[in-house]
Amino acid sequence: MTVAMQPRKLNLSIASAAMLPMVRKEPSMSLAAIAEAGLRGGADGILLHLTDERWLVREDDFEQVRRVCSEMDRSFQLRLWSAGPLITTALKFRPDVVCLTAESKIGSPQSYGLSFRGNLGQIKSACQRLKDIGARCYVSIDAGLEAVENALKSDVDGIEFDTSDLCDAIRGGNLKLVDERFTHLSSMARYASRHGLGVQAGHGLDFEAQRLLARVPQIRGINMGRYLIGGALMHGLTAMVAEAKGIMLHAGSGLDGLDARRQACLYRANYRGFREMDIIMSSFAQAVVPALVDPDLFMFEHILEMPDHDLYERIRSTNEPEQGLHIELLTNLRDHYKQSRWLCQ
């Protein structure tokens, strides 16, 4: 059973805002006010973390944020560890969606993927209690087949893939790892959707990672928080959320569609910094770009961002490609250079 495609949703996690020192000391900086600013920017839902750290997010914060979401006809969501006492507390706030996670503290550096080992019965019980009040239940998991299969057994409505590792690879410029992790996550998203699970992605996302993931048709929800809250200190929360919402609306279409991105790559490959690179990159691009899709198209876009002289030396080098580069793509570039370098003479 494949899930009918719903409009892409952007959910704003405001848990990190709770750690800002002035929140709640000034009414204009309450969590409810922050939630309202995010919703004005276009967020489809607000995500709050329910933990044992009640001094960070208090009971009245949950009530006020829920009221704001209700008044603006948006989704009120909770993220919580699947421990029994917290489920009982969550029921009191009547959320629209609950995501069960391994995280038990706000700002915890640990993996968010929930382990089903020894917890399946507890997770199924928690989901049933949430469904009894009309809430949809998701679980945050690592992008592995075993985790998806366990999610199917636990009767949840959907899953949230922990994207921390993929985001680390993107920020670190490790294109080989990006290729591996994105390809695997996309495959798991297709599998989960085909078996009836709603699919979301979250943790560690910035705009670049969000844009890449939002192009995956089966990923219908993106959960973002720290990057947007951090950017809000510089640019304002409404503006940051509006930009993230724009990515959700336009990912994979218009100027972000495959044809437009391919045309942009062809243009950029034609106009490099010097003649040799114009010849190498334009002829290579004309041969391969028309058939590229993600993640290979994403990799080629990144290669085009490299400084010309740096890329030229890597293409001409006979050394093993260094870790972090997309080795297959660079190898193909080197082979193309060997076959066409007479054009550069």
| Chain segment 277-287, per-residue pLDDT in tens | 999 999 999 99
- Please state the separation of Cα 146 from the chain's center in Å: 21
Residue 18 has pLDDT above 90, yes or no: no
Three-class secondary structure of residue 221 per DSSP? strand
Q: How far apart are alpha carbons 138 and 123 in whole angstroms?
A: 10
Q: How far apart are alpha carbons 293 and 300 in whole angstroms?
A: 10
pLDDT of residue 23: 58
Q: How far apart are alpha carbons 267 and 124 in whole angstroms?
A: 53
Rounded mean pLDDT of 72-94?
Answer: 87
Structure-derived torsion over alpha carbons of residues 184, 185, 188, 189, reported in degrees to the nearest 10: -150
| Weakest-pLDDT range from 135-144, 198-207, 316-325 | 316-325
Residue 49 has pLDDT above 70, yes or no: yes
Q: How far apart are alpha carbons 83 and 126 in whole angstroms?
A: 9
Q: Is 279:342 a contact under the CB 8 Å cutoff?
A: no
Q: How far apart are alpha carbons 101 and 91 in whole angstroms?
A: 16
Residue whose C-alpha is closest to residue 226's, from 246, 240, 215: 240
In degrees and rounded to multiples of 5, residue 259 shows phi and psi of: -65, -45
Which tokens in the block code for residue 92? 């009191």
Residue 222 has pLDDT above 80, yes or no: yes
The number of C-alpha atoms within 13 Å of 102 and in the hemisphere containing its C-beta is: 18
pLDDT of residue 338: 85
The confidence band for 344, taking pLDDT boundaries of 50, 70 and 90, is low
Is pLDDT larger for residue 215 or for residue 115?
Answer: 215
Residue 345 has pLDDT above 60, yes or no: no
C-alpha angle with apex 4: 206 to 189, nearest 5 degrees?
A: 45
Residue whose C-alpha is closest to residue 101's, from 57, 56, 48: 48
Report the amino acid identity of residue 290: P
Residue 127 CA: distances (Å) to CA of 34, 114, 123, 152, 154:
29, 14, 6, 12, 8
Rounded mean pLDDT of 201-227?
Answer: 95
Q: How far apart are alpha carbons 313 and 334 in whole angstroms?
A: 10
